Structure 1
Amino acid sequence: MNVKHTFVNFFLKTSSKQECHEVLTIWNSYYAALSEKHQESFVVRTLLFLNTTDFGSTEGFELTTEMKLVISSAFVQITFGLKKDVLNIFKTIFVTPTSYSYTGRAILYDGDVNTVTKRVNLSWPAVEKGFVITNDGLNIAIHEFSHCLIIENSNGSFLSKVFNNTDLNAWKELATQKLPLIREGNFTIFRDYAGTNLMELFATALETFFEQPHEFYSYAPTFYRTTAKVLKQDPRNGKNPK
């Protein structure tokens, strides 16, 4: 752990860390595969994120600590190789018991990042499915947090950038070449939705990166390595991804 996490760790209750470990061991396959040293760091970062984020839910729906830990772990999983510990813009996560819609729209959502309310909205059944089924390249929490990170990166100052600019620009250049292939059905490691735009390709690529790392690498090794460089980690190395 770095100095910051060591400091945070000092103030965390042993019972909270144990609860977090037990929940993540059951729910998060990425966490379960980590070395003991990395698990200790992951727990601290998960509790730091949870304690600095406002969680809310639909009236009548009980949002448990277990649910919050699972959702928080998705953020930590993405940023485990980065210095980003918390969200600065999207500090509220709102969880619903079912898919939801916005007034005047017929579309049902399982998750979205609302730049007006500065809130991340998630449907718990979709979050749950994303962690129960670990190898289908679908994880709504990872998807929406990926959007948050891109938005916060673009709005941050030079010193508060989430990603290294050179690494991210290299990813964008390669991803731009992949977009037409995805739209034509000729780049099938990602689902069709990845062809919407670069933002959706980034989020979908991260879902695949974490849930199907070996398949992603075999299918597109250069694109995989470019993604790994952006995130400063490689989940193919289960115990020591960074």
Structure 2
Amino acid sequence: MKLVISSAFVQITFGLSQDVLTIFNTIFVSPTSYSYAGSNVFYNGDVNTATQRVNFSWPAVEEGFVIADDSLNIAIHEFSHCLIIENAKKSYLARTFNENDLNEWKALAAKKIPLIREGNYKIFRDYGGTNLMELFATTLETFFEQPHEFYSYAPTFYRMTAKVLKQDPRNKKNPK
């Protein structure tokens, strides 16, 4: 479990200078979907800023790697949230992402959200249309699980994502 979950973080951060999480340094793995006390909503994963924990349902993590090309990977998704949150809390010079690149990505992404909501941008699942945070996470799932399809569908947005992450998974021999 540790190896599989860690591999998602390594995959995302392979081209970046950040290789550890400083705020979210506890990972909780549940044997099933879980809910919070007093709630009927069940989760397969979440990033809890109050407890500074990343929570996963093991079956969902496992499925994300067993089915490696469906753009659904809860570990990549939740670690994407962690990186954005931690990036925002760091001083300018210590940030994980180049600020200009990330702002350019956000500007492109903001134009995609209405298209996703209208059902006119099919490369990402509908959940990506929720907000920029969810679009970043769903984008990274697609970026790593369907890089060639993503590039064919939206080459400019793909290249901007590759620039933010400083890697290109289409180039398996040398993704950096």
With the length of structure 2 as denominator, give the TM-score of the two structures: 0.99
With the length of structure 1 as denominator, give the TM-score of the two structures: 0.72
Instruction: Please name the residue that 1:98 is paired with.
Output: 32
- Distance in 1 between residues matched to 2:40 and 2:174, nearest whole Å: 44
- Distance in 2 between residues matched to 1:98 and 1:223, nearest whole Å: 35
Q: Runs of 5+ in structure 1 lacking a partner?
A: 1-66
Instruction: Please name the residue that 1:143 is paired with.
Output: 77
Can you list the C-alpha shifts for 1:134-154, whole angstroms capped at 9, x where unaligned? 000000000000000000000
Of 115, 119, 123, which residue of structure 1 is paired with 2:49? Answer: 115
- Distance in 2 between residues matched to 1:231 and 1:98, nearest whole Å: 31
- Distance in 2 between residues matched to 1:179 and 1:158, nearest whole Å: 27
Is 1:69 matched up with 2:3?
yes
- Distance in 2 between residues matched to 1:76 and 1:123, nearest whole Å: 19
- Distance in 2 between residues matched to 1:142 and 1:105, nearest whole Å: 25
Structure whose CA Rg is larger: 1
Can you list the C-alpha shifts for 1:157-194, whole angstroms capped at 9, x where unaligned? 12220100000000000000000000000000000000
- Larger relative contact order (CA 8 Å, sep ≥ 6): 2
Instruction: Please name the residue that 2:125 is paired with.
Output: 191
Is 1:200 matched up with 2:134?
yes
Instruction: Please name the residue that 1:173 is paired with.
Output: 107
Aligned residue type for 1:212: Q
Aligned residue type for 2:93: L
Aligned residue type for 1:113: V
Determine helix, strand or coil for the equivalent of 1:200.
helix
Determine helix, strand or coil for the equivalent of 1:94.
strand
Instruction: Please name the residue that 2:59 is paired with.
Output: 125
Percent identity over paired residues:
78
CA-CA distance at 1:107 after TM superposition: 1.1
Determine helix, strand or coil for the equivalent of 2:35.
coil
Task: Determine which structure has the larger helix proportion and give its number.
Answer: 1
Instruction: Please name the residue that 2:94 is paired with.
Output: 160
Q: Runs of 5+ in structure 2 lacking a partner?
A: none
- Distance in 2 between residues matched to 1:87 and 1:143, nearest whole Å: 15
Aligned residue type for 1:100: Y
Instruction: Please name the residue that 1:232 is paired with.
Output: 166
What is the number of equivalent residue pairs in this alignment?
Answer: 176
- Structure 1 residue runs of 4 or more that deviate by more than 3 Å after TM superposition: none
CA-CA distance at 1:103 after TM superposition: 1.4
